[in-house]
A = this chain, B = another copy of it.
Amino acid sequence: MKRYLLAPGPTAIPPEVLLKMAEPILHHRNPLFEEIVAEVRENLKYLFATKKEVLIFASSGTGAMEGAVTNMLSPGDKAICIRSGKFGERWANICKAYGVEAINIDLPWGDDLDPALVEKTLKANSGVKAVYMQATETSTGAMFPVKEVAAMIKNYPETLMVVDGITGVGVFELPQDAWNIDILVAGSQKALMLPPGLAFAGVSDKAWAFNKTAKLPRFYFNWAKELTNLEKNQTNFTPAISLIGGLRESLGMIKTEGLENVYKRIDGLAYATREAAKALGLKVFAKTPSPAVTAIMAPEGVDGQAIYKTLWKKYGVTGAGGQDQLKGKIFRLATLGYADKYDVITAIAALEFTLRDLGYKFEMGKGVAKAVDSLKDL
């Protein structure tokens, strides 16, 4: 079956990137590889909109999340974790595993985050060393106000602003330096159009100062050592060489398109997805939906998992189901990465076939018609 990938990670990989990674492997301790790293370093700075180095790890994104705790904090430190989905919970779980006291701000899944609530929590708890949050909570499709929270935390010199941008970097504006994001984490299998296996972290001067006194144990994810190596176009341990070769290619594609155009494209695709869903009588789950991924509520009487599975099995479209408390209640269609308007039209068409099979009553074609109309100026 011809298959279409519209999951919120892994995302589709451009053929030129796949072919680049299929070239005979280079050894990482020679100038040919160092040239690649040098170019990648520059383009990662462009992507993160930072003048500082963006660290590269051979791991999935969670490895960089863990490092954003272990390289910054000491046992018994306090940190605020915004929990409103599976990935916000991950921040709290990492803190717990390392003996950091997590002060959790628990929001109903899919809700908005009010920056004032973060400040209130900060004021109510002395000595909070970091705020950990998501740019997009992938499990709910919600987008959080990173800019506003970061602007507030800027006034707290003893507190770091840490953002899981795994489903945000390269999707929408998240300029690390301009917005004062102290740590910005990304992963390869999202907007970067690569297989999973690389994680990234942009690190501010403020964060590097925290690193100097942070006592939590670390070895594989030792950021200070990574920085020293990166400045020599190397990595602390054997890098994921083929993925970094692909990264050079995909970052080149992003630069050629231009970040502003990438953001505009993805935003337009997500808008069309939401409009088409509404035209089919469906509701978008998140109050403030992220352009990365649209979580759509299963209509009454229809199982969200059945939608996700039928889309995949019968109609060749890989989206995602709901996770944990949302299992069966939502399904998700992503628009980040290597996606264009025909992907959205394809996914909506497949959704119509699926909903018909599952007995949902609606007028066939209304979704794709709305999608085409919404996409006409993109």
Contacts and interface: CB of A to CB of B under 8 A. Distances in A.
Interface of A: 3, 5, 7, 9-10, 12-13, 18-19, 21-30, 58-63, 66, 93-94, 97-99, 187, 189, 195-197, 216-222, 237-243, 312, 318, 320
Nearest to A28: B10
A23 B150 CA distance: 40
A58 B238 contact: no
Nearest to A240: B197
Identical subunits present = 2
26 contacts: A3-B24, A7-B27, A10-B25, A10-B26, A10-B238, A13-B24, A21-B242, A22-B22, A30-B312, A58-B60, A58-B196, A60-B237, A60-B239, A60-B240, A61-B238, A62-B219, A62-B220, A62-B238, A63-B220, A98-B217, A98-B219, A196-B241, A197-B240, A197-B242, A197-B243, A216-B217
A60 B242 CA distance: 13
Contact of A243 (B99, B195, B222): B195
A318 B220 contact: no
- Main SS of chain A's interface residues? loop
Contacts of A197: 58, 197, 240, 242-243
A27 B221 CA distance: 26
Contacts of A23: 18
